[in-house]
């Protein structure tokens, strides 16, 4: 008989209850092996649609298909035990109607085994968030800078620089909280607005480029590891992976070229 206690995954109520308490740690991950490392430290892991840009070289997240999110979502669920896994709903899979959103969110949850989905938009998505949560699908909202709308927003621009726009962002935050979201990503908003939103809503705010005033933080893993040559300005880069990979590949290529590659160790036994 095993004496080891099974590890229990974090749940959406647990993340919801972290409001105003210990800061929530989260990162994106798209693969089983990086997710296994992140899992030791993160309260939740987001399989973000940023994978279209980070892993697949797309210009924006607009072209990301549902099946790609599901494939990466499955990998991250397989690689992890503890963190709540949240999978992004890609552009075009939820905006048209609550019914459409339910169909696609249910597909994501059934096929990946994730614990929640995330979708972008504030007040305009409140009806859909309510529809999904009433039917058993936990939703993380995403307000402020919403990359899927970058074509309408005119690019990736900090939100709330003009105080006259704050009311609309605050209304978005209140609407998604009232609709039943268990947490919300607040992306690319000025610090005093992030602080105000965090104070006004009773669910956790997860900041990205939105200051330490939020209840938690999220970064794109590849950005903070130093794999992205041009990370967004707000990102603190903790690693030097691009240079480490380059040095390793160079050393390998040189050994192969000059035949100093250690052949005895390179056979299947
Ligand atoms: O897609 C993503 O990675 C995201 C984060 C930036 C929050 O939505």
127 is catalytic: no
Each residue of 65-79: pLDDT tens digit? 999 999 999 999 999
Instruction: Name the token pair of 231.
Output: 């990370």
Each residue of 111-142: pLDDT tens digit? 999 999 999 999 999 999 999 999 999 999 99
Is there a domain that residue 263 lies in?
A: no
What does pLDDT average to over the chain?
95
Is there a domain that residue 269 lies in?
A: no
Residue nearest to atom 4 of ligand 1 (CA): 48
Check residue 49 and give its pLDDT.
Answer: 98
Q: For residue 51, how far is its CA from the centre of ligand 1 (angstroms)?
A: 9
- Domain containing 117 equals 12-239
Check residue 261 and give its pLDDT.
Answer: 82
Is there a domain that residue 251 lies in?
A: no
Is there a domain that residue 200 lies in?
A: yes
Asked if residue 58 has pLDDT above 90, the reply is: yes
The residue assigned the tokens 């940023």 is: 50
- Give the number of other Cβ atoms within 10 Å of residue 137's Cβ: 18
Q: Measured from the CA of 185, which atom of ligand 1 is nearest?
A: 7
Check residue 152 and give its pLDDT.
Answer: 86
Q: What is the CATH number of the domain that holds 137?
A: 3.20.20.60
The whole-model pTM stands at 0.95
Is there a domain that residue 1 lies in?
A: no
* Gap between the Cα atoms of 203 and 17, Å rounded: 8
Q: Taking Cα atoms as reference points, which of 112, 105, 121 lies closest to residue 30? A: 112
Check residue 94 and give its pLDDT.
Answer: 98
Decide whether any atom of ligand 1 lies within 6 Å of the 218 Cβ: yes
Check residue 2 and give its pLDDT.
Answer: 60
Is there a domain that residue 38 lies in?
A: yes
The residue assigned the tokens 């809503």 is: 201
Is there a domain that residue 220 lies in?
A: yes
Burial label for 19, CB within 10 Å (0-12, 13-18, 19+), is middle
> What is the number of domains present in the chain?
1
Residue nearest to atom 1 of ligand 1 (CA): 48
Each residue of 156-209: pLDDT tens digit? 889 999 999 999 999 999 999 999 999 999 999 999 999 999 999 999 999 999
Is there a domain that residue 256 lies in?
A: no
> What letter does residue 33 receive in the DSSP assignment?
H
Each residue of 78-96: pLDDT tens digit? 999 999 999 999 999 999 9
Check residue 220 and give its pLDDT.
Answer: 98
């Amino acid at each position: 008989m095993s004496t080891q206690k099974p590890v229990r995954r974090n749940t959406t109520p647990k993340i919801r209850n972290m409001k105003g308490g210990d800061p929530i740690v989260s990162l994106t991950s798209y693969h089983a092996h990086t997710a296994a490392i992140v899992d030791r430290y993160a309260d939740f892991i987001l399989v973000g649609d940023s994978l279209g840009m980070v892993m697949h070289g797309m210009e924006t997240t607009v072209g990301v298909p549902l099946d790609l999110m599901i494939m990466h979502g499955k990998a991250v669920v397989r690689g992890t035990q503890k963190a709540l896994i949240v999978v992004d709903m890609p552009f075009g899979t939820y905006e048209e109607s609550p019914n459409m959103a339910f169909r696609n969110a249910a597909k994501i949850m059934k096929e990946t085994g994730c614990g929640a989905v995330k979708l972008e938009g504030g007040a305009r998505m409140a009806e859909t968030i309510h529809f999904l949560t009433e039917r058993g699908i936990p939703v993380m909202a995403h307000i402020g800078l919403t990359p899927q709308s970058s074509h309408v927003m005119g690019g990736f621009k900090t939100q709330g620089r003009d105080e006259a726009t704050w009311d609309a962002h605050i209304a978005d935050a209140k609407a998604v909280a009232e609709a039943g979201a268990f947490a919300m990503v607040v992306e690319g908003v000025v610090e005093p607005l992030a602080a105000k939103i965090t104070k006004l809503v009773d669910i956790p705010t997860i900041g990205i480029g939105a200051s330490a005033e939020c209840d938690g933080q999220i970064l794109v893993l590849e950005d903070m590891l130093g794999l992205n040559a041009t990370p967004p300005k707000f990102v603190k880069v903790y690693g030097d992976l691009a240079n480490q990979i380059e040095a390793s590949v160079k050393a390998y290529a040189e050994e192969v070229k000059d035949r100093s590659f250690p052949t005895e160790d390179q056979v299947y036994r």
